[in-house]
Amino acid sequence: MSSAKVMVIYTGGTFGMTQNGNNALSPSRWDDIVAHISPINKEDFKQVEFTLESFDNPLDSSQMTPKEWVMMAEIIQKNYHSHDGFIIIHGTDTMAYSASVLSFMFHSLSKPIIFTGAQLPVTHTRTDASINLINAIYLAAAKVFRIPIIPEVLICFNKVLLRGNRSTKKSTFDFMGFESPNFPQLGRFNQKIEINKKNILQIPEIPTKFLFNICPDIITINLFPGMNFKFLKYINKSNEIKGIVLRSFGSGNIPQSQEFIEFLEEAIQLNIVIVNITQCKEGSIKPHQYGASLHNKNLPIINGYDSTLEAASTKLMWVLANSSPQDHHALMSKNLVGEITT
């Protein structure tokens, strides 16, 4: 009879929240909620050995920073060879950001890292926390339940399994809190667990590499009609910005503003790396499809293809910190861990 060792990392989020004196939800400590987490307290998973880890100060995920991303990654690295899978209990607001950045931090990943959480606290009578955690346990201990081992950073939420760096939060209230607009679901949890084998990454033959450096010196620019481009000049004057994620219209179109083009030209001269992604939930950047395309301006702007905002921004932070300037463009244009379709 096979067994598995699974690490559960509690970072905070709605999953473990309780109401404070103002009736607002705030994160509780692990010791205060662990008694309510039946999957790891009962004998439902006799063949699974759990290791429990918690942030000293659990967070609402809106407070996540690169510091916490590295904390999560280092906990996993320390326990990587002694565990079969990892579950990260995380708030939903920035879960897709954390799942995306960890997918870049672990190269040649051979074990599942599963993010999950809840839209209602585990202490609520109608909580979705328990079923989300149970489904994540099945994935983390895959060999026990004879389902495929998925060597990816995943989001497991409300009966669906998504690639972390293809995911985005879609609702503040629906139990179906996440979606993957440009890539198929990797699995579903019905009476039978269904894994879409053809779309999961293969277990690599080389050892996992741990690359945790992050450069947070980037911004995102969301274009809108009537935008005053005069404000953008202060970005270049700051001398602190190293990367820009530009969210353009449709398949990569921009306003025909000379002031905006001059801003981009100056940013490039300052060696600021610029990645172009679409504002549309579905679809991809299509260079030169329209006359108004940014890529018709003959500027060295990187095509972000069908990347989510979460994946593009965290990938840019990771690439800036873990590669030389001459490699930035090539790495941002390359599909590294399933985050884009080129």
The residues, ordered by sequence, that sit 6+ positions from 175 with a Cβ below 8 Å of its Cβ are 119, 128, 158
User: Please, which residues have CB within 8 angstroms of residue 265's CB and are 6 or more apart in sequence?
Assistant: 299
Between CA 320 and CA 216 the distance in angstroms is: 9
Paired sense of beta strands 17-19 and 25-27, if any: antiparallel
Do residues 236 and 270 lie in contact, with contact meaning Cβ atoms separated by under 8 Å? yes
Q: Beta strand pairing status for 178-179 and 17-19? A: unpaired
14 is catalytic: yes
* CB contact at 8 A, 308 and 220: no
Distance of CA 313 to the CA centre of its chain: 10
C-alpha to C-alpha distances, 264 to 99, 279, 328, nearest whole angstrom = 30, 18, 17
Catalytic residue among 11, 14, 92, 308: 14
Q: Which residues are catalytic?
A: 14
